A and B are shown apart, each in its own frame.
Chain A
């Protein structure tokens, strides 16, 4: 018997833990000088170090250290005066050394926090999420599973490995356990990841694209009876590839845990995989049989002891906090709270900002992104960020409409064309022959033709039945393939029929 979410929160309270991995945008890898460019031909960005050839040794990327310190500072962490790399030992073909160089008991940043705000029934509420640690590690290679039905690992005959990604710097941000979110756990988690993403983007340390994997979230959830002191058993959910998935995954896990607990069954401590299509999780590696990672200090690398002066320089250069930035934008654009929230919720704020920065009027930029473009994204069931249309495109279209070279209706056609992959606005306009018919002469010709064809209706208008003009305007629009400015047509038509 499936429980509803309300059933769940009536009896249980959730405790969260979030682990976010960020791929840094350094030019070279964490421990070697290979390029980090995305999408290269397989195994063209590898060397003895990231392939773990016998005899190879790691060397630490200075920019990666700097980026990690910046992240720690932006998350209000203390920067450890002394931190060390450690080996995390386990075997997996995508990890060439069969250990990952990471950090264990001496991470570089500790004890920070992030404040998020969400909408509750009682109005906006603030939550402080405490950050346990921020540490550095390296990414793994990519495996292609061949021969199975779905291209997934189950049932594959063999796998093909590309190590271009192996060794790219990763920063792991781990929260302390987050109790007290009650029924808003999914929203709080989503808001946390969104805020983290905005902070990281403002620091310029990563391109934080969840869909591309440069920002990854693992969500840990456990339930306990409301008021209980001890923690329940948690499950870890991976493969959470969007903000929306964060929310759905947590909600789904809370329901799954509650169903088990209600039946008197045990929640198994394990890793689960989030399934986009169903919104449910599938069991993965059982953590109860977890490998012993046998951490020990990495002997090939020496400790990191960043000096105070360097940390101060980085602290002073921190950019404006996203929450302060958002307030500033809201004032500058004179946007009411509800609309501001709508933009944040639809995750279009930075896209709108980019569009405004290219010269577009804020209100117009907002209405296109929140309106037409959001609608298309929803129809296709994809995130706005994945659509082919860019802030540049929208700014261009806004400018064309202002200049009168496009009507709103025509602009919608252009947007549709750009998203469909027909090219940039100028190309779409040219290819489709989109043009506002401005020429009064041409309009008059069309108007006269329509009035002749629909003489009765035209007469009605002459007689003072203005609503009848609608049909005539429609016909004129059809005649001009929708490229006339409807308002101008109405003006001219009424004038022609003596009703100006």
Chain B
């Protein structure tokens, strides 16, 4: 019976950049016990000699020629921006390293 603890969920929420409340973490942890059991069934038939499918279609080598195509105007590009300054997207201070 697989399960994820509240801390496991908190780690995943951190990876997914979602600030979850304590209630959410606990209730998700409970739900996941059932969900993981249900989805773990895939292991029953996923043997080593079966190839995984990443693409439903057998396409290969779909390319685009190296030609410049008109871009959006800066106004269009920034049209949804929550904040902007001098034609750039303005974002709060970034804590992480680049």
Contacts and interface: CB of A to CB of B under 8 A. Distances in A.
A84 interface: yes
B93 A143 contact: no
A5 interface: no
A156 interface: yes
B77 A93 contact: no
Given A61-B66, A299-B55, A153 B87 contact: no
Interface stretch (A27-35, A441-449, A463-471): A27-35
Contacts of B65: 62-63
Chain A interface bracket (under 10, 10 to 19, 20 to 34, 35 or more): 35 or more
Given A92-B96, A299-B55, A41 B60 contact: no
Given A42-B87, A160-B89, A306-B61, A51 B77 contact: yes
A305 B86 contact: no
B97 A271 contact: yes
Interface stretch (A176-184, A261-269, A284-292): A284-292
A6 B88 CA distance: 50
A474 interface: no
Contact of A27 (B68, B72, B90): B68
Contact of B64 (A46, A48, A59, A145): A59
B58 to A, nearest CB: 9
A64 B86 contact: no
Contacts of A292: 15
A45 B71 contact: yes
Contact of A65 (B54, B63, B71): B63
A181 B36 CA distance: 50
A163 B66 CA distance: 19
Contacts of A305: 60-61
B23 interface: no
A305 B80 CA distance: 38
Interface in B43-98: 54-55, 57, 59-69, 71-74, 77-78, 80, 85-94, 96-98
B66 A34 contact: no
Interface string A33-60: 1110000011111111001010000011
Given A302-B55, A302-B57, A159 B94 contact: yes
Chain B interface bracket (under 10, 10 to 19, 20 to 34, 35 or more): 35 or more
A28 B87 contact: no
Given A42-B87, A47-B71, A143 B94 contact: yes
Given A84-B54, A143-B98, A285-B97, A304 B61 contact: yes
A285 B96 contact: yes
Nearest to A33: B69
Contacts of B80: 53
Interface string A125-144: 00000000000000000011
Interface string B15-54: 1010000000000000000000000000000000000001
B11 to A, nearest CB: 9
Given A59-B62, A92-B96, A292-B15, A161 B88 contact: yes
Contacts of B93: 145, 147, 156-159
B67 A27 contact: yes
A28 B74 contact: no
Given A153-B98, A284-B97, A158 B69 contact: no
Interface in A82-101: 84, 91-94
B66 A64 contact: yes
A158 B59 CA distance: 44
Contact of A162 (B64, B66, B88, B92): B88
Given A60-B63, A160-B89, A35 B77 contact: no
Nearest to B55: A302
A60 B88 contact: no
A161 B91 contact: yes
Contact of B66 (A26, A44, A84, A304): A26
Given A145-B93, A302-B60, 11 more contacts: A28-B66, A42-B88, A44-B74, A47-B71, A53-B80, A61-B63, A93-B91, A162-B87, A271-B97, A302-B62, A305-B60
Interface of A: 26-28, 32-35, 41-48, 51, 53, 59-65, 84, 91-94, 143-145, 147, 153, 156-163, 271, 284-285, 291-292, 294, 297, 299, 301-306
**A-B pairs with the 3 shortest C-beta distances?**
A33-B69, A63-B66, A160-B88
18 contacts: A27-B66, A33-B64, A34-B71, A42-B87, A43-B89, A46-B77, A51-B72, A51-B77, A59-B62, A59-B63, A59-B64, A61-B63, A62-B66, A92-B94, A143-B94, A160-B89, A304-B61, A305-B60
